[in-house]
């Protein structure tokens, strides 16, 4: 087999195709999902919803979670958000 050679047009075409590829879909763990939506969850708490109702809502919307797990994940999410600011 000989040495591969490519035209500048092929290079430009490949670059354009690769630039057009959409980002890969992120798959999140339940903890990461709760961390991402923690502000909205806490907003529901401020609106008067209990953790039981929120856990039920999430479960009904394809995020199965138990009340104690939800509370635990929210505490961890809060702690994780505070960590970077501790040195300031």
| pLDDT at res. 58 | 98
Radius of gyration of the chain (CA): 23
Task: Report the C-alpha gap between 70 and 16 in whole angstroms.
Answer: 44
Are the CB atoms for 29 and 74 separated by under 8 Å?
A: no
Domain count, the chain: 1
DSSP H helical ranges for the chain: 8-20, 30-36, 38-46, 51-60, 67-82
Are the CB atoms for 31 and 76 separated by under 8 Å?
A: yes
| pLDDT at res. 74 | 95
Q: Looking at the domain assignment, is residue 88 inside a domain? A: no
Query: Residue 68 belongs to what domain range?
Result: 28-81
Q: Tell me, yes or no, if the pTM score tops 0.85.
A: no
Q: Looking at the domain assignment, is residue 65 inside a domain? A: yes
| pLDDT at res. 1 | 63
| Each residue's pLDDT expressed in tens, for the chain with a length of 88 residues | 678 999 999 999 999 999 999 999 999 999 999 999 999 999 999 999 999 999 999 999 999 999 999 999 999 988 877 765 555 5
Task: Report the C-alpha gap between 42 and 51 in whole angstroms.
Answer: 10
């Amino acid at each position: 087999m000989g040495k591969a050679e490519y035209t500048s047009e092929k290079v430009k075409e490949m670059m354009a195709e690769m630039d057009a590829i959409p980002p890969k879909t992120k798959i999140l763990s339940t903890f990461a999902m709760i961390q991402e939506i923690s502000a909205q969850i806490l907003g529901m708490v401020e609106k008067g919803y209990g953790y039981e109702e929120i856990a039920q809502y999430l479960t009904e919307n394809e995020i199965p979670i138990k009340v104690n797990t939800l509370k635990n994940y929210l505490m961890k999410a809060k702690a994780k958000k505070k960590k970077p600011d501790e040195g300031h």
